[in-house]
Structure 1
Amino acid sequence: VGDNGAGKSTLVKCVSGIYTIDAGTVTFDGNQVAVHTPRDAAALGIEVVYQDLALCDNLDIVQNMFLGREKVRGLVLDEPTMEQMAGDTLASLSVRTVKSLRQLVASLSGGQRQTVAIAKAVLWNSRVVILDEPTAALGVAQTAQVLELVRRLADNGLGVVLIS
């Protein structure tokens, strides 16, 4: 928690490998680690849901959840596996507000978009999920929905860092 400009988002970007730290250390599971890229953070099990959500409006839910990490079978996308994994992840989080995994993100509400972004982070067997101001642009009902999802993440044993 901190005022605007206090460095909350910058800290997240350092831990997630977007920015390189120039002093201090990052310790994960009791060991000092080097996080130079987002792939380094992902390899440790650290996933971030950024304030802008980093979702593509012109892609559907499944395509967004696998963006940059697509499953392939030979030379083609393994759509059935990706759809099954996306559905299983949303079900494990008790998400019931999405009509179809194939609906475009552009058609989703703010709370549904936040849910997809969080599910995308959880999909990769993450151990720590960092949420950068997940309720900043949401109304009261959508905020309650997102905070309930955050509680389920913690109840499932994930470490959750909530920036607010």
Structure 2
Amino acid sequence: MIINIKTKLYFVSLSIFIVLIDQFTKYLMFYNKKLFINKDFLLFKLDFVKNYGAAFNIFSGSRVFLSLISIFFSILVIYLIFRKNTLNSFDLYSYSFILGGTIGNGIDRIYRGFVVDFINLNIINFPVFNIADISINIGFIILLYNIFKNNR
């Protein structure tokens, strides 16, 4: 399906919205730790963790490398959105969520030297994460769904 530029700009604006929400929540946690840390909610509590690595803290201490990876993947996803003409809405949603999350965590890495994580699941022992991480995972779930749906 051929997607016009206006539709593609809508999906890029979705990515920008995700970045804004991600950065706003991290700002609140970073500058108001005492208000939010250890607040319990139904399924999670708020914590404050400086993540110097990637998912599950892999490549910890590799700020430059991870920053370059964030920039590379952001450029790649923007390229896919604007240059690939056979995208469907699942592709665009998945790319938008992945792009928003990648830029959100990339900003942290470049600006702070670490990623601010703050969502801690009470129900299972799982690494602390943030809105950008959720966005990236949603994007990959949509992408996998689309791949399996199209390969039937």
Please report the TM-score for the alignment, with normalisation by the length of structure 1.
Answer: 0.25
- Name the structure with the higher helix share: 2
- Name the structure with the higher strand share: 1
Please report the TM-score for the alignment, with normalisation by the length of structure 2.
Answer: 0.26
